[in-house]
Amino acid sequence: MQALTAPEDRAVAEPIEHGAVAVDGPLIVDVGSRDELAARFPQAHVESFGEAVILPGLVNTHTHLELTALRGYLENEESDFFAWLRKLTLARLERMTADDIRVSAMWGACEAVRAGITCVRDASDSAMMSMLALRDVGLRGIVFQESFGPDPRLAQENFAKLKLKVEELRELETDLVRVGVSPHAPYTVCGPQLELIADFAISERRQLMMHAAESQAEEDFLLHGTGLFAESLAKRGIEWTPPRLSTIQYLKQVGILDCEPLLAHCIRVDPADIELLAQTRSRVAHCPKSNAKLGHGRAPLSSFLDASVTVGLGSDSVASNNTCDLIEEARFAFLLARNPSLTASQMLAVAIQDGMLREGHQADLVVVGLDGAHQVPVYDPVTALVFSSSGRDVLLTIIAGREVYRDQRVAGVDERRLRARMNEIAQKL
Ligand SMILES: [Zn+2]
């Protein structure tokens, strides 16, 4: 068994062969060789996983767990982003009940921990259901309550609704689960509402996530005031004067970049935009599989890393992925980047963010088996992880010292009942 420890210089540190991690309560108390640790903690219960690697938990920086029931539901709309968004919104708002959404989020949370994800950044219209799902599965994360509203005349009203929801959601916060805010996108939330939400995020010290620079349609909307998003507003009698700016420059103008936001996608960015992201300490959730599946193109991962922009990986919802698997996402990101200076170790560091196997840190860790037919022989555990493995090779997931997944079971969750309910929801849809 090998232990991959702290990321150094945006790459993972050298693996420790025959490595081990000592955990006490929610914390890591030591990391080293198995022999060293066995001598230091003679009373400890020791477990061995054979040919496997221990690494910090994977961090999914952009997902929508509530949409898990829509996996495979939108395949025919993929070439038309507007139709895709409309069918998704109708299903979520008009056809799924509150319990359906809770089941959907719960199944998504189970899928995440099964794939070694220990922390999520989840954007949700029904944030309460997502928070309950995270809590019930034992997943760490921030649930970002979404806000919509393209009509400036309703900005105050929509903002007041968001504030009220956040107030209610605070009651559900725990040491592991926090609340953030998410104005959905530049084409679904008007400028005045973006300004109000940005000020709120800063004054309340709430994290903010937003979709940004994702599609050609968004670019046409902001730069020229043309395309389906502009036409849809015109049909609803909503006035729209395009700022004639790139998404990133526009988000600077309306104050979003002042809250060190987490921006999902960032595909349509130029060097000046990337510079602005770096200057404002904005962070990027890179979702290469979702972007490719919807035909939006690919974000310039290497340019972000070169400019020292903080980047994480996101699965986005499984409605556009179709799996929540960050090892697979890391491989896909690496292959798409096609950059000889990018290493597998750096790619893995992007997937684990600031997670560390180090004394005093939270015990969020994952054991991934390395003896599958698709993995043997293993010359190097890091490249074996990134190029030959997937979330299905995860043997154990621990969050804050608690085993949430082991031996094909998510602890304390009736997955049989959830599976039956998921199929029921699919039948209805
Ligand atoms: Zn998204």
Whole-number pLDDT of residue 113: 98
Q: Cα(372) to centroid of ligand 1, in Å?
A: 33
Q: Cα(109) to centroid of ligand 1, in Å?
A: 16
Instruction: For residue 242, give both structure tokens.
Output: 């395009």
Q: In percent, how much of the chain has pLDDT > 70?
A: 98
Whole-number pLDDT of residue 8: 53
Residue 76 pLDDT greater than 60, yes or no: yes
Q: Cα(299) to centroid of ligand 1, in Å?
A: 14
Residue 332 pLDDT greater than 90, yes or no: yes
Q: Cα(122) to centroid of ligand 1, in Å?
A: 9
Identify the bridge partners of residue 284 per DSSP, sorted by sequence position: 263, 311
Residue 99 pLDDT greater than 80, yes or no: yes
Residue 170 pLDDT greater than 80, yes or no: yes
Q: Cα(211) to centroid of ligand 1, in Å?
A: 6
Q: What is the pLDDT of residues 334-393, one digit of tens each?
A: 999 988 889 999 999 999 998 889 999 999 999 999 999 999 999 999 999 999 999 999
If you average pLDDT over every residue of the chain, what do you get?
95
For 284, 337, 342, the CA distances from 275, given in Å and listed in that order, are 13, 19, 20
Q: Cα(124) to centroid of ligand 1, in Å?
A: 9
Region 176-180: what's the mean pLDDT?
A: 98
For 20, 394, 395, the CA distances from 49, given in Å and listed in that order, are 10, 11, 8
Is residue 136 within 8 Å of 128, Cβ to Cβ? no
Whole-number pLDDT of residue 6: 55
Q: Cα(317) to centroid of ligand 1, in Å?
A: 6
Q: Cα(13) to centroid of ligand 1, in Å?
A: 31
Is residue 370 within 8 Å of 384, Cβ to Cβ? yes
Q: Cα(72) to centroid of ligand 1, in Å?
A: 16
Whole-number pLDDT of residue 289: 97
Is residue 264 within 8 Å of 212, Cβ to Cβ? yes
Residue 429 to residue 419: CA distance in whole angstroms: 15
Asked whether the whole model's pTM tops 0.75, one would answer yes
Whole-number pLDDT of residue 80: 85
Q: Cα(62) to centroid of ligand 1, in Å?
A: 6
Q: Is the dihedral of CA 19, 53, 382, 307 positive or negative?
A: negative
Residue 428 to residue 30: CA distance in whole angstroms: 50
Whole-number pLDDT of residue 32: 95
Q: Cα(64) to centroid of ligand 1, in Å?
A: 6
Q: Cα(218) to centroid of ligand 1, in Å?
A: 14
Q: Cα(75) to centroid of ligand 1, in Å?
A: 16
Is residue 107 within 8 Å of 418, Cβ to Cβ? yes
Q: In percent, how much of the chain has pLDDT > 90?
A: 89
Q: Cα(396) to centroid of ligand 1, in Å?
A: 27
Q: Cα(265) to centroid of ligand 1, in Å?
A: 8
Q: Cα(316) to centroid of ligand 1, in Å?
A: 5
Q: Cα(3) to centroid of ligand 1, in Å?
A: 32
Q: What is the pLDDT of residues 205-259, one digit of tens each?
A: 999 999 999 999 999 999 999 998 999 999 999 999 999 999 999 999 999 999 9
Q: Cα(264) to centroid of ligand 1, in Å?
A: 7
Q: Cα(338) to centroid of ligand 1, in Å?
A: 24
Residue 401 to residue 363: CA distance in whole angstroms: 5
Phi, psi of 290 (to 5 degrees): -60, -45
The amino acid sitting at 96 is M
Q: Cα(429) to centroid of ligand 1, in Å?
A: 21
Q: What is the pLDDT of residues 104-124, one digit of tens each?
A: 999 999 999 999 999 999 999
Whole-number pLDDT of residue 9: 61
Residue 1 pLDDT greater than 70, yes or no: no
Q: Cα(5) to centroid of ligand 1, in Å?
A: 30
Q: Cα(28) to centroid of ligand 1, in Å?
A: 33
